[in-house]
Amino acid sequence: MAAAVSVSGCLRASEYRCNANAECIQAGTQGRCGPAGYCAFDDDTCDSGLRYGALAGGGYANACVAGGDAMEVVDAPIDAPPPIDARECFGSGAYALCFDGAPPMGMITLAGTLDTDTDARCAAMPASWALAGQPDACLIAANAIMVTGNVAVTGSTNRRPLVLVAQTVTIGATLDVASHRSPPVNAIGAPAAQCQAFPMAPVSATNGAGGGAGGSFMRAGGPGGHGESSGSTGGVAASADSAAPTILRAGCPGQQGGDGVAPAGAPGMGGGAIYIAANLIAFSSSGIINASGSGAHGGGTTAGGSGGGSGGMIVLYSSELTMATGARLLANGGGGSGGADGGTGAVGADPTATSPTSAASGGNGPGANGGAGFAGSASAQAGGSAGGSRESAGGGGGGGGYIQSNHPLTGATVSPAATIVP
């Protein structure tokens, strides 16, 4: 079952034009593109068996197709699409995108690996984006964008955020902009320039070091535990952001634990950032967007555990949203690693899209355990366990990221809870 909602706003929703049948998809249902450039879909209540879509122009929206409308099948782009407005705008407020002239036509399918620094489909952002203070990003724009297979979004150098703009965006598989501990992937845009500095670093010691704090974003990361050695205090997490972000940004990394006889492991990285603006955004039951932070790596003998990375950022803006039951969106924190005693500290887990509301676990010792990452609706996340006798401390779990939509995400499992804006 899918939930559908619609709204008017800055995003232009007066009409949707198609060039081929493949561009006519509504809530996962394939329609037909007629010679006038409007989509129609099967409807047994109409004498013709077809009804125009909600975004058909020329007064045809939601009307039954009449026998004289000649809705023959179009399998290739038509020769001369009707003229469209000279300026097309998508999104709202700080995330508004306006194109001078006709926006891109055609259909783009996404699957496999997408590098936001090198992918040939990445276009330059319009001037309005930079004027609003937004970061450089990989813009993929088309008449229709379809996620047909799992997409691993990476960045070779700058790891630019991903921006998708289209009349219709269909999410039919996993769109992964998360950081991952194994295999190691640092999310696009991470670490964000807005990440706060840690107010206290864990103390290194050869007889049990302090643990690092988890990264913070909209939910604070957990503090690191205290080590056995005198003065081996744990790291204190940065405070959570007090206001909703107006800049597309990634999450924040955790803090590295204190070194022992051997160095501490690398902390988890923050999740990535993605913005989707369209007239219609449709999630199938297999549609997933993952913008989570990663778990921390374990360190060597007597080193403290490191903190997990915070979740990143997902922003959706559309005139119409369809969300099939089973769809998932997550921007959770990664688990902190365990403190090392006689052996290497256990790694923190990455969040999993299989169960978005289940926290990524911290590493279990062999010193003190690491803290779990943020997931679900909790307002704060427990930190790493304190180091006991002859133990090094665990690292704190990563905090939660940010999910925003101008529609309720009814039918989907979402973590953390989405902020709904006008």
d(CA 190, CA 334): 14
pLDDT for 86: 42
pLDDT for 76: 41
pLDDT for 380: 44
Q: Is 33 helix (H, G, I), strand (E, B) or coil?
A: strand
d(CA 210, CA 202): 5
pLDDT for 26: 61
SS3 content of the chain, % helix, strand, coil (to 5): 5, 25, 70
pLDDT for 379: 46
**pLDDT tens column, 248-279:** 999 999 999 999 999 999 999 999 999 999 99
**pLDDT tens column, 105-122:** 689 999 999 999 999 999
pLDDT for 192: 81
Residue among 288, 336, 355 at smallest CA distance from 181: 336
pLDDT for 158: 78
Distances (CA, A) of 362 to 115, 293, 309, 413: 30, 13, 12, 23
d(CA 111, CA 109): 7
Q: Is 130 helix (H, G, I), strand (E, B) or coil?
A: helix
d(CA 367, CA 384): 11
Query: Mean pLDDT of successive 10-residue segments in the chain (422 residues)?
Result: 41 58 66 76 86 75 73 43 51 81 77 95 88 91 94 88 94 97 85 85 90 94 90 90 93 95 96 95 97 96 95 96 96 95 93 94 93 77 53 92 96 95 89
